[in-house]
Every structure is written in structure tokens, then in C-alpha cells.
Structure 1
């Protein structure tokens, strides 16, 4: 067999496809991590409700266009799940992002990303409580280790306290956990793209109403600099729509379990991007991120589990 035959074999093609899916999934996590630094930049000029609404108006338009091109209008799924989409959009999109933008006024991008990085564990814990089943000891132990990592990152062991923004972002992670659970329990006969598009639209409308009620988004938008608008468009199109697209490619090719591990790159990318902007992390922050990721991997069974006999 020649080298050409080997590289053109189905196995080689499968490896190339899985490798591409891995790279795209990793890029999605990096894009999500970049949102926290972009949020910090936007909040220097825009108030939180206007910033959040601006991000998701553009994101909703982008993902609805994508839905139309990829799967059609998605109106049947909307009719079947209108109430669920509305509630999930208000809680999981508007609630989560309002907490993020309000919290980022006093929190740091690295801390915010790390708190959100524990959301898979929070989701599993809430789902266990809703289902009235006690989580596995491994999950509880991993959760405790992750919280120690978060505490290291915010400097709690050196006498510092959680900033009010940190608590808001944790509340946002709870809203995201409820959104994830609600999508599993309440949505019927809708694709992930349909669910994301319609809940994102509901969240965008909610944030837009709040922005007009609490701020003056039109007047503020006219005074924003190109930097603020660029960061907003980055969060909307790259950090929301494109990240979701890449993540879904990873799930479809490599499966949800293998892809979900790459979510641990979110706080790592946030830390590296903050360093690239000249804000070098403290050693305790680096250690905290490592400890938190170890806890997530331990709780999810990615490490410490004995291999099964073949």
C-alpha cells in the first residue's frame, strides 16, 4: 500500500474530520473565553443593559439568519415550544447576560470565566436536586475542589472577599444551569439550533426592553467609539454565533462527552487574553484556574477512574 493510498483511506479521512472538529471545538471555547475581556472593554463606554442588549440583538439576527439557511424558518418548533422558549430566553439568555454585564463592573475577566467554567457541575448538581437524587460522592468532591480553585483566584485565602460582581456572576451561572436543564426537560421536537435561535431572540427582546426602561440606548450608542462597537460585534458574531456553530460541529462529530471537556479552555483562554492585554495574572490566579479545572475533570470522571477491562 502506498503512502497516497494510506492517507486517502476512510480511516485517514475520519482522523482528519475528528481533528478538524477538535480544533473547531477548542476555538469555540477560546471565543467564549474572549467574551469576558470584550465585556470589560465595552463596559468602559456603555452601561450594562445597553451593552448586553446590543450584543444579543446582533447575535439573534445572526443566528436567525443561520437557522433560515441551515434548517428553514423553524416556525413549527416555535409553535410547539413558544412558552418554553420565552421562559428559557428570559432566564437563560437575558438573566445570565444581565448578571454577567452587571457583575463585570466589579469582577475581573479571569474570575468571571472561572466561575462560569464551573457551570457544568452546577447544572449536574441542580438536576440531581430537581430529580431528587443525591449526587455521586465524586461529583461533590470535585465541586468542592473547584470552589477552592475559585477562592484561590479571587484571593479569598489571602483575606480578600468575593466582590459583589462575583456573586452576580455566580447567580448568572445558576440561571445558565436552569436554562440547560429546561432545554432538556421542557423543549419538545426542536433542534439545538432552533432552540438556541428562538431563546436568543426572546432574551434579546427582554434585554432591549430593559435597556430602554433603565437607560437611553439610542443616545448612548451614537457616542460609543469604534472600539466599543467592535468589541460588541465580536461578542455577538464570534463569541456567540460562531462559537455555537463550532461547538455543535464538535458535538456532532466527536460526541457531547468528548467535546464538553474542552469547556475547561474557557478560563484558560480568558487568563491568556487578559495577559495579552497587559494585565498579567498573579501566581495564585494561575494555580486557582488549574485547581478548578482539576475539580471539574475529577467530578466528570475524566480523571481518577479505573479503566474497564476489555
Structure 2
């Protein structure tokens, strides 16, 4: 039996490593979406986002019929619906509205650097809301990732108005992660992601009408449809569900570290398709992001090893028996 358990430990990837892989894949899909969005420059922004989340949400809800589990059949309580609406308002519709407004009044690099504060914000707020002290190791890892994001994005500039919208986008992203952690374990990643995406669609359509009026309703051309399909399938359905798969397994703080993979993936994607050349700062930023994520992973592994070294409790011993003194 001991031999079987030892073999299983060597042949089965650690659950935490798989969760980190899911979070990294999620942010890679999001980062690759950066050059894809260029194709949609002439298409109404909020209409495109509404189509993206409608198609992505329908794909996720369709998957629920193929993958039955206790999480997919658990009843949705009133409080759960409230959290799902908050997810749609914050990390789906709200984040996109705030991001687009920020980009109209500030440089993309400045906005990206502000939103790059997600790892530090989560490393601080998640434990505080759970009434525990933030981990110094995870704060250090988050700081390394944030510096890497800053190097990759650059500082840039913009008006205070644009920077304020960037801060609102950061807040919306942080709220999304914290709220998702409270509901995803019971309802499942696919279910929460799908319902949040579909709930955000009317919000985005309203933003499209307010912003563009009747011009919001345009039929995409073939290249725009291809871009929207990538955004729907990879940057929404897969990215959202993979991210929420990771959250209950490695926690909000460690999942947040993987947000640094998005700007790195964006730089690599623009280089691959020939629309940009990586600079020294991009490479240094990518290295720092990787170092920060590794530090976060090793912190978790060290804690688990320490727990495994603790002596087992003898349950056959009477509770009131005192320890013998030397």
C-alpha cells in the first residue's frame, strides 16, 4: 500500500501545479487577445463585447449538459444570484466599460500598469477579508510579479480622468476575484462563468446604445467574426472557466499571481504575428513575472511539506491523558 501511494505521488501531477497551469493558460488566452482586438478597431466596442460574452456564455451553459456533477446541479440560492450579478457588474461588464473609458484618456501602458496591481491587491485583501494575516512570502511574490508587469507594460501617461478609470477597472477586477471565490466551489467554475457572462450581455448592450446609438447594431465582417469567435471561445469560455477552476484549489492570492502572464503573452503574440518586437524591458519583465509565480508556488509547497512532517495524532489515546514530562 505504501509503495502504491509513493508511485502515485511520482506519477500524478500535484493538484496545485495543475491549478497553477490552469490559471496560467487562462491568462495566456487573455493576453493573446490583445493583438486580436486590433481587428475590431472599426467595430462598435461594447457591441463586440456583448457578442463575445453572449457566445462564450452560451458555450459554457451548453457544457453544463455534458458534464454533470454536484456543482452543476446544486440549487442556486438568492444570495448566489446576487453574487453572479455582482460578478457580471464588476469583472465582466464593469471591467470592460472602465477599461475602454481609461484607454480613451490615458496611454495603454499606464492603464496596463495600474491593472497590473491586481496580484498585490489580492494578496492583501483576500486574507484580510478572511480575518487572517497576509503572507509575507505571497506579498513578496505579488510584488515581483507587479514589477514584472510594470516593466512589460511601461509607465506611460494620461489625464487624471483616464487614470481614475484605470483605478476603477482595477477595483472591478479585484472585486470579481474576491466574489468568485465565495461561490465557485459550490456552483462550479463553468456554471458561475457562464451565468456571469450571460448576465453581463444586457449591461453591455445598454452601454453600446448609450455610446453609439443606432450605430451600435452593425453586422461584423468575416475578419471581425473570426476575432469575435477567438474572444468568445478562448478569451472568455476557456479563460474564465480555467481561472475559476484554479481559485478554490490554490486560493485567490496565488491565482492572482498568474495575472502577470497576460501582458507577457500579449508581447509574445504581437512578436509572433509581426506587429511588434520585444524589448529588453519586455524580457526582463517576463523573467520577473516567472520568478514571482515560482516563489508563490514554492511557498505553497513548503507549507504542505511542513504540514506533512507534523506527527500524527494518536486517536486511541484518552483525551484527558497528559503528555509525559521528560
TM-score, normalized by the shorter chain, greater than 0.5: yes
Q: Which has the larger radius of gyration?
A: 2
Displacement, 1:272?
0.7
Q: Aligned to 1:302, what secondary structure does the other structure show?
A: helix
Mapping 1:211-290, distance limit 5 Å: 211-216=208-213, 220-222=217-219, 224-245=220-241, 255-256=249-250, 260=255, 264-277=260-273, 278-290=275-287
Instruction: Rate the CA distance shift 1:185–1:31 in 2: closer, same or farther, 3 A.
Output: closer
Q: Aligned to 2:206, what secondary structure does the other structure show?
A: helix
Displacement, 1:118?
5.1
1:302 alignment partner, one of 298, 303, 309:
298
Q: For CA contacts below 8 A with separation 6 or more, give which structure has more relative contact order.
A: 1
2:64–2:191: 8 Å Cα contact kept in structure 1?
yes
* Aligned mates of 2:175, 2:55 — CA distance in 1: 24
**Which residue in the other structure is 1:136 paired with?**
135
Displacement, 1:95?
1.0
Give me the TM-score of the superposition, normalised by structure 2.
0.69
* Aligned mates of 2:235, 2:167 — CA distance in 1: 20
**Which residue in the other structure is 1:123 paired with?**
122
**Which residue in the other structure is 1:84 paired with?**
83
**Which residue in the other structure is 2:33 paired with?**
35
**Which residue in the other structure is 1:56 paired with?**
53
**Which residue in the other structure is 2:198 paired with?**
201
Instruction: Rate the CA distance shift 1:291–1:111 in 2: closer, same or farther, 3 A.
Output: farther
Instruction: Rate the CA distance shift 1:294–1:170 in 2: closer, same or farther, 3 A.
Output: farther
Which has the higher mean CA deviation after the structures are superposed, 62-71 or 173-182?
62-71
* Aligned mates of 2:128, 2:9 — CA distance in 1: 43
Displacement, 1:192?
2.5
**1:90-115 Cα shifts (integer Å, max 9, x gaps):** 1121112223344456655x887776
* Aligned mates of 2:278, 2:195 — CA distance in 1: 38
1:31–1:243: 8 Å Cα contact kept in structure 2?
yes
Displacement, 1:231?
0.8
* Aligned mates of 1:186, 1:25 — CA distance in 2: 18
Instruction: Rate the CA distance shift 1:287–1:134 in 2: closer, same or farther, 3 A.
Output: same
* Aligned mates of 1:99, 1:266 — CA distance in 2: 18
Number of residue pairs the alignment of both structures matches: 294
Mapping 1:178-197, distance limit 5 Å: 178-185=175-182, 189-197=186-194
Displacement, 1:178?
0.8
Structure 1: gaps of 5 or more residues: 1-8
Give me the TM-score of the superposition, normalised by structure 1.
0.72
* Aligned mates of 2:181, 2:302 — CA distance in 1: 30
Instruction: Rate the CA distance shift 1:103–1:75 in 2: closer, same or farther, 3 A.
Output: farther
Instruction: Rate the CA distance shift 1:58–1:40 in 2: closer, same or farther, 3 A.
Output: same
**Which residue in the other structure is 2:319 paired with?**
none
2:147–2:285: 8 Å Cα contact kept in structure 1?
yes
1:211–1:217: 8 Å Cα contact kept in structure 2?
no
* Aligned mates of 1:293, 1:217 — CA distance in 2: 45
